[in-house]
Amino acid sequence: MKLLIVGSGGREHALAWKIKQSEYVKELYAAPGNGGILDVAECVNIPADDIRQLATFVEKKGIDLTIVGPEIPLSLGIVDYFNKRRLNIFGPSQAAARIESSKVFAKRFMRSYDIPTASFVTFDRVEDALEFVHSRDERLVVKADGLAAGKGTIIANNEDEAETAIKRMMIERFWGDAGKKIVIEKYLEGVEASVLAFTDGENVLPLLPVQDYKRAYDNNKGPNTGGMGSVSPHPVVDKNLLQEITDTILLPTISGLRREGNPFKGILYAGLIVQPDRSVKVIEFNCRFGDPETQAFIPLMKSDLIEVILYTIEERLDEAEVLWYDKKAVTVMLASGGYPKKYKKGFEITGLKEAADMESVHIFHSGTLRRNGAYITNGGRVLGVTAVGDNYNEAFNRSYRAVDMINFERMTYRTDIGLEFIKGGV
């Protein structure tokens, strides 16, 4: 088979690394790709959101299957367009992808189908939103309705912070049209977890649960980011809890979308909160592989990824199985100084070969390019350093030893990814 991966981040590099190992794959392309993906695929200079040009490339090259990484092309309808041109593609339709592209739609959908989530109110007028928060005396979460690269959620500890978040989204339009509408919901205490699952529109096949670290700084401080690290499997989400999540969240969501005429085929990602009483509620849904969650669980996957994707496309997911190595993985994201706000690009990265040569270490490039044989920073999140170990302590120490070998100007990262699992003796 000839395959195309759409996207340019660490998620796409991890997918490309895994897909390259498949016995089904003879040629692998990535559009637009990055400096690291060049090691395993031929990169094509087509933006991920240029749907028409991507389809033309697929036809010209005789690509057998396209796999979409980022949410933006999915929200723009790449799957619908490819289907019209009779091109095989993995991912949900534009209508089904609204589960991520519109927080307002997702929350109303969950309410309609009794899917557990925080109580909420939606607003399209700033005056109404401000009046609401001025009447509350509790922690709230303010969310932009549209896509904001994982940064459009603000936890407001008091009335002033809530007001600032509302004005930033609806008046200043910090995230553009994503903030035309907002959701304000009750803050939930608990442990966050990410559960991703293959779905063929009827069946679901959950993957290893993951802990994602959204905040920029240690101890979960600072602004939200696209993700500063991840750990898999998540020790809080055991087999029993995963089955409960499947029965009460994943399957009802797939059933509801199908009932509304928008069957979801692809990867459904549930961002969850496990409360102190072990009840689970949905924080958000995504319509694709997570980033950096994928960098953590992909090295633990024993099964052929393409085989499972083909079962999904053929609507035979009930016949598929995913096997895993009995290991733990820790991914630490290395970012440009200033991220998630202003940062500079163009710095040479050193130490990559030494780090990648370490046993059970994988370096997944997020924002890099290759220039004259050297790797150069080209984004906010630059690299994901994933290490696999027999336990969390081993994976944690191995990952940070690899991090110590890598350097670029103004490099920054969190030092506590997975630390709480070590302290907990897991």
Classify 301 as helix, strand or coil: strand
Whole-number Cα distances in Å, 287 to 64, 173, 199, 250, 345: 22, 24, 11, 12, 29
The amino acid present at 340, given as its one-letter code, is P
pLDDT 10s per residue in the chain (426 long)? 999 999 999 999 999 999 999 999 999 999 999 999 999 999 999 999 999 999 999 999 999 999 999 999 999 999 999 999 999 999 999 999 999 999 999 999 999 999 999 999 999 999 999 999 988 888 999 999 998 877 788 899 999 999 999 999 999 998 898 899 999 999 999 999 999 999 999 999 999 999 999 999 999 999 889 999 999 999 999 999 999 999 999 999 999 999 999 999 999 999 999 999 999 999 999 999 999 999 999 999 999 999 999 999 999 999 999 999 999 999 999 999 999 999 999 999 999 999 999 999 999 999 999 999 999 999 999 999 999 999 999 999 999 999 999 999 999 999 999 999 986 555
Place of tokens 């984004």: 379
pLDDT of residue 424: 56
How far is the C-alpha of 129 from the C-alpha of 279, rounded, in Å?
A: 29
pTM of full prediction above 0.85: yes
Q: Is 143 within 8 Å of 211 (Cβ atoms)?
A: no
SS3 content of the chain, % helix, strand, coil (to 5): 35, 30, 40
Q: Is 63 within 8 Å of 3 (Cβ atoms)?
A: yes
Q: Which residues of 211-250 are buried (b: 16+ CB within 10 A; e: fewer)?
A: bbbbbbeeeeeeebbbbbbbbbbbbbbeeebbeebbebbb
Whole-number Cα distances in Å, 316 to 200, 307, 378, 415: 7, 11, 40, 42
How far is the C-alpha of 166 from the C-alpha of 191, rounded, in Å?
A: 26
Output the DSSP codes for 166-225: HHHHHTS-TTGGGGSSEEEEE---SEEEEEEEEEESS-EEE---BEE--EEEGGGEEEE-
Domains of the chain: 2-91 (3.40.50.20), 119-186 (3.30.1490.20), 194-319 (3.30.470.20), 328-423 (3.90.600.10)
Place of tokens 């200043």: 172
pLDDT of residue 22: 97
How far is the C-alpha of 45 from the C-alpha of 213, rounded, in Å?
A: 31
pLDDT of residue 3: 98
pLDDT of residue 178: 86
Instruction: Give the pair of three-digit tokens for residue 146.
Output: 């549209």
